[in-house]
Amino acid sequence: MEALKGIKVLDFTHVQSGPTCTQLLAWFGADVIKVERPGSGDPTRSQLMDVPNADSLYFTMLNHNKRSLTLNTKNETGKQVLERLIKKCDVLVENFAPGAMERMGFGWEQIQQINPSMIMASVKGFGPGPYEDCKVYENVAQCAGGAASTTGFIDGPPTVTGAQIGDSGTGLHLALGIVTALFQRQSTGKGQRVLAAMQDSVINLCRVKLRDQQRLAAGPLEEYSQHGEGIKFGETTPRAGNDSGGGQPGRILKCKGWENDPNAYTYFITQAAAWPNICSAIGKASWVDDPEYATPKARLTKLNEVFGAIEDWTMTKTKFEVMQICNPLDIPVGPILSMKEIAEEKTLRETGTIVEVEHPERGTYLTVGCPVKLSASPAQVVRSPLLGEHNEEILKSLLGYEDSELEDILNSGAIS
């Protein structure tokens, strides 16, 4: 039995942030009806296309397990169909630009009148305040949420990260808000508004950097490499390169083959408890008891020397050999895996994190499956819907339109 079986989601989302959220709900068993503009649909269907006349990977990888209904919500008949959908569904999810739902005539007040038990969930760029009307994309959120100012190296510019913390990160936050509101509805019978602002979600993911901002008042951040290098701290949390955020010094080090392979590197943490094992693994047994190196505090001013010695050792091993040697010794390391290696990783296929999917237009493609595994509600990845694939099915079976009414809807131009 799927955990969210019976929950109907009216999915007005597009691009990445909202679709990430509704895809998760669909994986957990909700019936997600993706409402799209007739003719074009979600703009990502035709963005970054790699197969002519086929939905792009951008779209297919974010819209699994959903049904697609085309509906012009600015057409009068379209509005009537939408009203019927709102009555039938439990949750409406949208990530339009601020004010678009209101301009459509379906703001929160109208939704509550039509269906008081409906949960209306939105992604917006910013919460209430001076920027609330702004349209926002991934990298804007990474910058406005503080992530970019703390990413990169101290002598370089602010940097965005490849992990889509603004879009997908916000979708994850929104999904949690929705299931929480569904839980509360069980006792109140009422819906509520759920808002996840992209700036807020990024700030939440940057919590440790705001921690460091406050720690600065108490003195330099000793675990940052710049401290050992004698570089003064300014007024704000600096960019920390590849330093580890948890107080244990860590760096990315070269491994065998780094000259030709851009990902022949390992992450290496000199965790205090593993120090004796690290010393013996790299052939520096004398450092275990040498007061110049024996304690984390003593090492703080010598991190370049310490990591230099460790790197002399890692450069003689592949990143996987480093992992094999260090894991049994409780030394925390992690190979820098490329996307190619992830795509080919057998274990990830076995757990359903990387999945092959059949698509009528594309053939077989690779995607990321549900990253959260529920033992009693395992997620099966079903291909994304073609545009309007479920029009008739939804209008007849879910909304109860008769054949003659269906023809009127067709003639009105509401769905095509």
Q: Is 22 in the site for ligand CAO (CB under 6 A)?
A: no
Q: Give the integer Cα–Cα distance in Å for 245 and 209.
A: 8
Q: Catalytic: which of 31, 42, 90, 167? A: 167
Interface residue with ligand CAO among 9, 16, 33, 34 (CB under 6 A) is: 16
Q: Give the integer Cα–Cα distance in Å for 322 and 255.
A: 8
Q: Is 47 in the site for ligand CAO (CB under 6 A)?
A: no
Cα four-point dihedral sign 343, 345, 346, 352: negative
Residue number with the shortest CB distance to ligand CAO? 97
Query: How far apart are CB 99 and ligand CAO at their closest, in Å?
Result: 7
Closest CA to 12 of 39, 42, 48: 42
167 given a catalytic annotation: yes
Interface residue with ligand CAO among 68, 72, 226, 271 (CB under 6 A) is: 72
Interface residue with ligand CAO among 3, 8, 37, 300 (CB under 6 A) is: 37
Contact between 191 and 112 under an 8 Å Cβ cutoff? The reply is yes
Query: How far apart are CB 82 and ligand CAO at their closest, in Å?
Result: 9
Closest to ligand CAO by CB, 63 or 72: 72
Interface residue with ligand CAO among 4, 10, 11, 17 (CB under 6 A) is: 17
Using CB under 6 A, count the residues that bind ligand CAO: 25
DSSP string, 168-184: HHHHHHHHHHHHHHHHH
Window of 10-18, 46-54, 176-184, 228-236 that interacts with ligand CAO by CB under 6 A: 10-18
Closest to ligand CAO by CB, 74 or 190: 74
Q: Is 172 in the site for ligand CAO (CB under 6 A)?
A: no
Query: How far apart are CB 382 and ligand CAO at their closest, in Å?
Result: 23
Interface residue with ligand CAO among 73, 142, 270, 271 (CB under 6 A) is: 73
Query: How far apart are CB 13 and ligand CAO at their closest, in Å?
Result: 8
Contact partners, residue 307, CB within 8 Å, separation at least 6: 249, 251, 253, 268, 270
Query: How far apart are CB 248 and ligand CAO at their closest, in Å?
Result: 34
Q: Is 124 in the site for ligand CAO (CB under 6 A)?
A: yes
Contact between 170 and 196 under an 8 Å Cβ cutoff? The reply is yes
Interface residue with ligand CAO among 3, 49, 100, 143 (CB under 6 A) is: 100
In 303-394, which ranges are continuous DSSP H helix? 303-314, 319-326, 339-344, 346-351, 391-393
Element (H, E) at 333: strand 333-335
Q: Give the integer Cα–Cα distance in Å for 17 and 138.
A: 8
Closest to ligand CAO by CB, 178 or 333: 178
Closest to ligand CAO by CB, 96 or 401: 96
Q: Give the integer Cα–Cα distance in Å for 75 and 295.
A: 71
Residues 286-315 that bind ligand CAO (CB under 6 A): none
Closest to ligand CAO by CB, 11 or 223: 11
Q: Is 275 in the site for ligand CAO (CB under 6 A)?
A: no
Q: Is 15 in the site for ligand CAO (CB under 6 A)?
A: yes
Q: Give the integer Cα–Cα distance in Å for 319 and 180.
A: 42
Q: Is 71 in the site for ligand CAO (CB under 6 A)?
A: yes
Query: How far apart are CB 282 and ligand CAO at their closest, in Å?
Result: 44
Q: Is 103 in the site for ligand CAO (CB under 6 A)?
A: yes
DSSP string, 226-285: HHHTTPPP-SSPPP-TT--TTSS-EEEEE-TTTTT-TT-EEEEE--GGGHHHHHHHTT-G
DSSP helix/strand/coil, 6? coil
Sheet of 31-36, strands arranged across: 66-70, 31-36, 8-12, 91-94, 119-124, 193-197
Strand 91-94, strand 66-70: pairing = unpaired
Q: Is 5 in the site for ligand CAO (CB under 6 A)?
A: no
Window of 121-129, 180-188, 287-295, 332-340 that interacts with ligand CAO by CB under 6 A: 121-129
Count of Cβ atoms closer than 10 Å to residue 416 Cβ: 14
Contact partners, residue 152, CB within 8 Å, separation at least 6: 158, 159, 239, 241
Residues 393-412 that bind ligand CAO (CB under 6 A): none
Query: How far apart are CB 141 and ligand CAO at their closest, in Å?
Result: 8
Element (H, E) at 197: strand 193-197
Interface residue with ligand CAO among 6, 47, 74, 360 (CB under 6 A) is: 74
DSSP helix/strand/coil, 119? strand
Active site residues: 167
Binding residues for ligand CAO, per CB under 6 A? 15-18, 35-37, 71-74, 95-97, 100, 103-104, 123-125, 135-138, 167
